[in-house]
Structure 1
Amino acid sequence: MGRAMRVNNVVLVHGAFVDGSGWEPVYQLLTAQGYQVHIVQHPTTSLAADVAATQAVLDLQDGPVVLVGHSYGGVVITEAGHHPKVARLVYLAAFAPDSGESVQKLCALPLPGAPLPPMLAPVRGFVRLDQAKFAAAYAADLQAERAAFLASAQQPLGLDAFTGEVGMPAWRSRPSWYLVASEDNMIAPLAQQLMAQRAGAAVTAARSSHAVHESHPAAVAALIDRAARDLR
């Protein structure tokens, strides 16, 4: 059998508490390699709304797609990944839920010694991270000025996104790749490894905080390139 042809379209889905602008370093690297890259600016209001926003971008693609999710974006791609244009999935320090799971359920029983994200009590149906603890939890390896800006510019997570449950996960029918952030203080690295193993993903790792797409864009772009070329 010959080697699979490269998938040239990449769609990037951001996680909770941030927006799509953090993908810019990865975007620049991938476009320099000839990929057509689109970034989903989903609202993080509910899983259904975020999936719909992602599928609307997928509709625009002119061929097969590598669909990439960071953090909560992993939940979104697990549901949106059934779109007929999605050929491969890439998870970056992300939740990769199974049927009936949500972020809330996956966080309800943390592993021993796992970090506890500094989420504040909901306000008007949305949760935020404690601004004073944001840098240590989310972006410990970014420049202090950038981490402070991200903390101040948080996009709050809707409770309907936090509790939104996945149906049949797309990773059951699509090949997947997973990048574990080994210094993550939002999603325990061991939890990442277990979810990746359950999904049958090809796994790599980076010595990174949760903000791996910003702090290690070359490693992220390299993994997306491997997925696009179907290299395990």
Structure 2
Amino acid sequence: MKTTSLKEQMNRYFMFAVLLFSFLFATANSNAQSANSAPIKNVVLVHGAFADGSGWKALYEVLTKKGYHVSIVQNPLSSLEDDVAATNVVLDRQDGPTVLVGHSWGGAVITQAGNHPKVAALVYVAAFQPDNGESALQWLQTAPPAPENGVLPPDDKGIVYYDQAKFHAGFCADISKEEADFMYASQGAFYAKGFVTPITKAAWRDKPAYAVVATNDKSIDPSIQRAMYKRSNTKVTEVKGSHVVFMSQPEAVAKVVIAASKNSKS
């Protein structure tokens, strides 16, 4: 009977150990890749001026039914810094990578707040997207306002309101009058200084950005939206809708948010 030498036994143990290590490494690497490619499930929504967080309800419902964890920021609208701080409070509470979504003025907010380490992607919904040193107002002034636009000059307290007589046609023409009336009544007091405050670090320069252009927008001209998003190489989806396209076309906007969650690194 042939006996196995100590050297042969050692060689066999060594080969077994190598194979086992290779298997374990491959399994761990595969699991890590699967985790990294898993869709992001956290979404934070940031409203703009002349609105509040309640306007996100339709989009919230679409996304939560699809398994997303959705949080809504209530911007104080008192300054860019205050709105960024309010957004960061919500981002701090997320349990992992997050898609940060901003509408209108909220686009300026997410451009600054998007530098938060938990933000994996940005979604601009008919929103401002300034660069470093730029303000939202600079972009608003690059095209003449539509006749329906009802943004009023700041009052004696520095607060900007929307003309009630033009609110439905100029801000949210494709939702019902009842919804428009509630939206007008629930809007926050937007301080004009936010509009003129420049961005110090534009997050879209470092993180993937997606955008919805509202083609019937009477508050931020679609040409302004296209120019901003083209400059930044943002992935754009055009949707027929008013400035509140996220209310009138929540399924279409949800598709863009979902694309951002699936295509961005978690």
What's the TM-score once normalised by structure 1's chain length?
A: 0.94
- Superposition pairs of residues 51-62 of structure 1, within 5 angstroms: 51-62=84-95
- Quote the Cα distance in structure 2 between the aligned partners of 1:152 and 1:104: 24
Identify the residue that residue 164 of structure 1 maps to in structure 2. Answer: 197
Shift of residue 156, structure 1, vs aligned partner = 2.5
Question: Which stretches in structure 1 are left out of the alignment for 5+ residues?
Answer: none
The structure richer in helix per residue is 2
Identify the residue that residue 200 of structure 1 maps to in structure 2. Answer: 233
Structure 2 residue corresponding to 1:115, chosen from 146, 153, 178: 146
- Superposition pairs of residues 10-159 of structure 1, within 5 angstroms: 10-110=43-143, 114-115=145-146, 117-123=149-155, 124-159=157-192
Shift of residue 121, structure 1, vs aligned partner = 2.5
Structure 2 residue corresponding to 1:174, chosen from 195, 207, 210: 207
Shift of residue 190, structure 1, vs aligned partner = 1.3
Equivalent pairs: percent with the same residue?
A: 47
Change (3 A) 1:121 1:190: closer
Shift of residue 79, structure 1, vs aligned partner = 0.2
1:128–1:154 CA contact under 8 A, matched in 2: no
- TM superposition outliers: structure 1 runs of 4+ over 4 Å: none
Instruction: Report the RMSD for the aligned CA atoms in angstroms.
Output: 1.6
- Quote the Cα distance in structure 1 between the aligned partners of 2:153 and 2:127: 23
Shift of residue 45, structure 1, vs aligned partner = 0.8
1:93–1:178 CA contact under 8 A, matched in 2: yes
2:55–2:183 CA contact under 8 A, matched in 1: no
What's the TM-score once normalised by structure 2's chain length?
A: 0.82
Report the AA paired with residue 121 of structure 1. P
Report the AA paired with residue 249 of structure 2. H
Shift of residue 98, structure 1, vs aligned partner = 0.8
Identify the residue that residue 255 of structure 2 maps to in structure 1. Answer: 222
Report the AA paired with residue 168 of structure 2. A
1:100 counterpart SS class: coil
Question: Which stretches in structure 2 are left out of the alignment for 5+ residues?
Answer: 1-32
- Quote the Cα distance in structure 2 between the aligned partners of 1:107 and 1:211: 17
Shift of residue 109, structure 1, vs aligned partner = 3.0
1:131–1:152 CA contact under 8 A, matched in 2: no
CA deviations on 1:176-219 (whole Å, 9 max, x unpaired) are 10110000001111111111111211111111000111101111
Greater Cα shift, 186-195 or 74-83: 186-195
**Paired residue total:** 229
- Structure whose alpha-carbon radius of gyration is higher: 2
